[in-house]
Amino acid sequence: MALDKRNKAQIFPRIGKFSMAIIALLFIISGFRAYEIFGFIFKPIVQKDAIVLVQTGATYTDVEELLQNEKIIENAKAFRWVARKKKYKQHVKPGRYQVKKGWNTNVLVNKLRIGDQLPVKVTFNNVRFFEELAGKVSVYFEQDSIAFLNAFNNTELQEKYDFNSATFSAMFIPNTYEVYWNTSPEKFIDKMHREYLAYWTMDNKDKAKKYGLSPLEVSILASIVQEETIKENEKAKVAGLYINRIKKGMLLQADPTIKFAIHDFSIRRVTNKMLEVDSPYNTYKNIGLPPGPINFPELSSIEAVLEAEKHSYLYMCAKEDFSGYHNFAKNLRQHNVNAAKYRSALNKNKIWR
């Protein structure tokens, strides 16, 4: 049935030029907005490779200001828009983030929102006291050395892992570990405990048992070995010497334990007066191993004890050439000869302490 012109006009009213212009303008605006939004999401925003440190307790505003102040992003408006759409403001996570030049806003916000951190590699060695350990490891973390030292000295934490103030250092095996920058001191300690348990496998425990030692006793002896020699190829021999003395019930007479007892490892010559120090760490007075490690024994020192060299040596004395090596002796007569050579070298070089 055909429609008359009047009905057609009612069904399809004419669109005026002004209306057409408005519609066209709306389409253009919508197109520009769509293009802008597309740019907000997918246009590169990160201007340089960088490490972004988001502090614990930081707000979205803190993060945005950080990215702008460090000139990491070039379009704060785009970051703000995408962050709002992805609800990043409600999900700010502290951490250490690696960002790459050329990343778009979507990638950057996703990285921050899910907390996809870059781990730090924490390395520590050549440490004797917890004060030193706190100073060395804290540089890798958000919290400072005081926070770490307080945790290390926390007796409740020590007891939690079946250690005490004297033995706690045995739990910290020097190495390189991957952890997150915002890891708390307590969580770092927990990781060290897991690493300690991972090292002390049944195989290593069996090796210790061969010498009648527990894992803790291995660590204590390893700490003495570590102080006695700087030569890696001599550690197993030194370990074997002390195991021989332990088996015979002899005093260990280890000079490093005296240095630990008086809290001074700068001493090059241990005097008779120093040997009189009243301390459970004085192995010239007390038979057996001291109460705990005198440093944080490294893996090479621990393994030197577990693979101690078998020999008949009972005495050792630093070589008179100051090479770092030692003269070993099976009896006191020979040891006295070696000791006399070393004392003569000390006197010649005017080393009195």
**Phi/psi of residue 95, nearest 5 degrees:** 155, 180
Residue pointed to by tokens 């241990």: 270
Query: What pLDDT was estimated at residue 22?
Result: 58
The series of mean pLDDT values per 10 residues for the chain, 353 residues long, is 52 54 49 48 87 95 94 90 91 95 93 95 95 96 97 97 97 97 97 97 97 97 96 96 96 96 88 93 96 97 97 92 90 90 83 63
Token representation of residue 233: 């190829």
Provide the residue ranges of all domains of the chain, joining segments of one domain with +.
50-114, 120-199, 202-348
Give the model's pLDDT for residue 5.
53
Q: Assess if CATH 2.60.120.10 describes domain 50-114.
A: no
Is the separation of the CB atoms in 100 and 141 below 8 Å?
no
Question: b/e string for 58-70 if b means 16 or more Cβ within 10 A?
Answer: bebeebbebbeee
The position carrying tokens 């490490």 is 51
> In this structure, what token pair is assigned to residue 54?
């988001």
Phi, psi values for residue 120, rounded to 5°: -105, 150
DSSP state string for 43-67? SB-B-S-EEEEE-TT--HHHHHHHH
Q: Name 49's Cβ contacts closer than 8 Å, sequence gap at least 6.
A: 98, 99, 100, 101
pLDDT at 353: 60
Per 3-state DSSP, the chain is made up of helix, strand and coil in percentages (nearest 5) of: 50, 10, 40
DSSP assignment letter at 168: G
- Give the C-alpha separation, 28 to 62, whole Å: 36
Contact 316/247 with Cβ under 8 angstroms?
A: no
Residues 6+ apart with CB under 8 A from 243: 211, 221, 305, 308
**Tokens 């095996």 appear where?**
173
| Angstrom distance (rounded) from CA 288 to CA 249 | 7
Tell how strand 326-329 and strand 315-318 pair up: antiparallel
Rg (CA), the chain: 34
Check residue 173 and give its pLDDT: 97
What is the C-alpha separation between 317 and 327, in angstroms, rounded? 5
Residue 114 to residues 49, 53, 86, 142, 340: CA-CA distances in angstroms? 19, 15, 11, 19, 67
H-only helix segments in the chain? 5-11, 17-42, 60-69, 76-85, 105-114, 130-138, 145-152, 155-160, 185-199, 202-210, 215-228, 235-248, 255-261, 299-306, 332-348
Pairwise CA distance, residues 235 & 222, whole Å: 9
- pLDDT, residue 40, reads 55
Residues in the chain: 353
Backbone angles phi, psi at 321, to 5 degrees: -90, 0
Q: Which residues pair with 53 in a beta bridge?
A: 96
Question: How is residue 272 annotated by DSSP?
Answer: T
CB 47 within 8 A of CB 101: yes
Note the pLDDT of residue 7: 55
pLDDT at 16: 59
CA distance from start to end of the chain: 121
Report residue 90 as tokens: 């409600």
